[in-house]
Structure 1
Amino acid sequence: MPHPTSTEIAGRIEDLYGAPLAALESHAQDRPPGMLSALLGMHDTLAFAERSITVHRARLAQLVQPERQIGTHEASHLLDCARRLAEAVAVRDAQASSASAVLQSLGRVESPEPSSAAAPAVVPTLPAPVTSAAPSR
């Protein structure tokens, strides 16, 4: 099963919080860290990993072109690029799985409509002060 992309995760975050991602990011900056900050962080890491995959895949394709000779110098670049590509894929997979699992565990809760037959709120009352029948001095 393929992992969700950063675009899919962004859409799920927007659906959960009911606002565009840009508005959520600016909202999260004004608040202490919480679930929204964690989800946005996961999304950023996932998006960065996807961009890294694209860059390293293109570089790897460039390094292994048929007309190109692979000598000692090129081999070190080829191995480094393959290692970086593998790391980006691992990060993408981990972040996608984590973000997806967190989003599955959360659900948007609609605010309840106040009903017209709702009972009035009970306000606790303080006990009446005890007064004695004896005159005070």
Structure 2
Amino acid sequence: MSPATSTEIAGQIEDLYGAPLASLDVHAKEQPPGMLSALLGMHHTLALAERTITVHRERLAQLVHPEGEISAFEVSHVLDCARRLAEAVAVRDTQATSVAAVLQSLGRAVAPQTSPAPATAPAPVPAPVPTASTALSR
């Protein structure tokens, strides 16, 4: 299973809260920290990781272009770029898994198909009957 993208996560957050992400972001900034703020923060981190992956993947492709030569100087750049790419992928995968799990736990509950029987009020508890010993002690 591939991790959800930031676009998919954004859609799920919008569905859950019933508003576009931009307005949710404004709303979250006006409120005390809560679940919406946490979800938006996770989404931001996920989107940043995706952009970082794109940048480092493109840079790595430039560095190891088949028509170019890799000098000793460029080897350190290739290794650094590959390391940063791996870190961004790990962040993306972790964030996507975490935010998807949180969103799944927050999903709107589906109404039951059958309506339960109406609740009945409990029968009143009768008052205790005074016994001869309690009646005499009064």
Question: TM-score, with normalisation over the residues of structure 2?
Answer: 0.77
Distance in 2 of aligned mates of 1:107 and 1:96? 16
- Partner amino acid for 1:103? L
Compute the displacement of 1:109 (Å).
Answer: 6.2
Match of 1:47 in 2: 47
Residue 14 of structure 2 aligns to which amino acid in structure 1?
E
**RMSD of aligned alpha carbons:** 1.2
- Which residue of the partner structure matches residue 19 of structure 1? 19
| Larger helix share, 1 or 2 | 2
Letter of the aligned partner of 1:83 in structure 2?
Answer: R
What SS does the aligned partner of 1:4 have? coil
Match of 1:106 in 2: 106
Unpaired stretches in structure 1, ≥5 consecutive residues: 111-137
Maintained 8 Å contact 1:59/1:81: yes
One-letter amino acid of the counterpart of residue 81, structure 2: C
Query: Partners in 1 of 2:30 and 2:83 — Cα distance?
Result: 38
TM-score by length of 1: 0.78
* Aligned equivalents of 1:109, 1:95: Cα separation in 2: 24
Structure 1 residue 69: deviation in Å?
1.2
How far 1:31 moved relative to its partner? Answer: 0.6
Q: How does 1:1-137 map to 2 (within 5 A)?
A: 1-108=1-108
Check conservation: 1:49, 1:89, Cα contact below 8 A.
yes
- Contact kept, 8 Å, 1:17 with 1:108, in 2: the verdict is no
Name the SS for the 1:22 alignment partner. helix
Give runs of ≥4 in structure 1 deviating > 3 Å: none
Overall identity of the aligned pairs, in %? 75
CA offsets 1:70-100 (integer angstroms, 9 cap, x no match): 1111000000000000000000000000000
Unaligned runs of 5+ in 2: 111-138
Report SS of the residue matched to 2:41: helix
Counterparts of 1:33 and 1:74, CA distance in 2: 45
CA distance in 1 between counterparts of 2:29 and 2:106 reads: 21
